[in-house]
Amino acid sequence: MFFNSLDFAIFLPIVFVLHWFLASKGTQTQNALLLSASYFFYGCWDWRFLSLILFSTVVDYIVGLALARHEEQHKRKLLVLTSICVNLGFLFAFKYFNFFLDNLTTAFSFFGQPLPIQGLSIVLPVGISFYTFQTLSYSIDVYKRKLEPTRDFIAFATFVSFFPQLVAGPIERATHLLPQFYTKRSFNYSQAVDGLRQILWGLFKKVIIADNCAQYVNQVFDNPAAHTGSTLLLGAIFFGLQIYGDFSGYSDMAIGTARLFNIRLNQNFAFPYFSRDIAEFWRRWHISLSTWFRDYVYIPLGGSRGGSFINLRNVIIVFLLSGFWHGANWTFIIWGALNALYFIPLLLMKKHRTHLNHVAENRWFPSLREFFQMLITFGMVTLAWVFFRSASIAQAIEYLGGIFSPSLFKAPDTLPEDAVFIMIGIFILLEWIGRSGQYAIETIGLRWPRPWRFLFYYLIIVLIFLYRGIGQDFIYFQF
């Protein structure tokens, strides 16, 4: 069930009305409804994988209760390792087993010893990388005594499977989201309206920006040898816009949907393409994943406490794991490694914490220096996206070779429709105006007279109906 589908347009209002109709029955009844709705939502993809979520939920719930009973450190370590092994074991089996088997088979074949082993013919469960990390955060935080284990199984199961962010995040921490399922939730009109605005903006980014860009990106990436360098460069730029519109659009719709139920999810994107260096970009892109790796990998490995070499090692590990998290393909690992190479000079020069505020804060326009910093950062990110989008390293190298060829200075041999460029221009303008908020149109028009404000929202709706692209799957559903 996609956020931008008719099914979801029917599903969401029904759950919304029932949720607030049951408000007088208590929080647990509301949670039971959200849990049932979440399992139905996920079951629409493939009901067989509901057993994975349920099993993972039961394991971590029991581990949490057992951690509360035991004070002996060796028993506590054994319990948290059980949670880690179960969750990462599922992730490995469904997502990475065939990758490792294929590479092992290739290595043995190289030395003339082919392995007669068949890979697993299994379907990757939608969102497994997201809910696995989310439920792991609970067990680890209980182990570290940052969180008291819950005895409310319904609340915990709802935390694990909450449908707005179940299949593509944001990856929520138990310390932030779980307590919201304990407390009484009352309908908040202003928060619900704000949630609808965020859903509207997320829908705009998905169906107008991402889906329209996808048509051009697919055309260019499917046959890079047939296009000029300028066309390939434009295709890479459009993929950068596509993946941002697609993934941040999903996050906006997830966060907005949660707010309809008076539940707050964390911001997942903070206008990353307005970043002035790669460190700032990674503080603003897929924030929930970046902070998860920071807190559960980088810091436990020693963070920056062990000197420059240890810090450098830890940063490289995090970037490589981030790439591998995205998919079982060497292209994602190279993508992570390339971003690490971008980041290392800033780390060595201790300039990775330079830009902590919004660009051109309290100003309409960036300085010339800021403009070129953003342009260079976007260019670096765009070149790395080529590996992310390509099916193989060979295709990515061919694509980059095509960009940096004499034909780069020729006119593109194919272009999207003019309307697509106009929509992108509107999109960038609104993102720039709203760059200090949680999402672009959070505050735009709030002080306007009501007719003008509603005209602005209706205009966005009209643009969605007139210029929506051919429907594409959300990119991050494959992860």
| H or E stretch covering 87 | helix 73-91
418-433 helix and 450-467 helix, angle to the nearest 10 degrees? 140
Is the separation of the CB atoms in 377 and 281 below 8 Å? yes
Say which amino acid occupies 260: L
Task: Give residues with Cβ within 8 angstroms of 161, minimum separation 6.
Answer: 35, 38, 39, 42, 53, 57, 131
Count Cα neighbours of 422 within 13 Å in the Cβ-side half-sphere: 7
3-state class (DSSP) for residue 126 = coil
The Cα 288–Cα 268 span in angstroms is 6
Count of beta carbons in the 10 Å neighbourhood of residue 115? 12
Q: Which of 248, 217, 168, 214 is nearest to 479 (CA)?
A: 168
Distances (CA, A) of 189 to 54, 101, 195, 262, 314: 33, 53, 10, 9, 45
Say how many Å lie between the first and final Cα of the chain, rounded: 16
Distance, in Å, from the CA atom of 61 to the CA atom of 151, rounded to the nearest integer, reads 8
Q: How far is CA 211 from the centre of its chain?
A: 17
Q: Three-class SS string for 5-49?
A: CHHHHHHHHHHHHHHHHCHHHCHHHHHHHHHHHHHHHHHHHHHHH
252 phi/psi in degrees, rounded to 5: -60, -45
Nearest to 197 by CA among 453, 381, 476, 375: 453
> Which amino acid type is present at position 46?
D
Q: Half-sphere exposure of residue 92, counting CA atoms within 13 Å on the CB side?
A: 8
Point out the catalytic residue in the list 19, 326, 352, 355: 326
* Cα atoms in the Cβ-side hemisphere of radius 13 Å centred on 21: 8
- Residue 358 is among the residues annotated as catalytic for this protein: no
CA pair distance 35, 156, nearest whole angstrom: 10
Question: Which are the catalytic amino acids?
Answer: 326
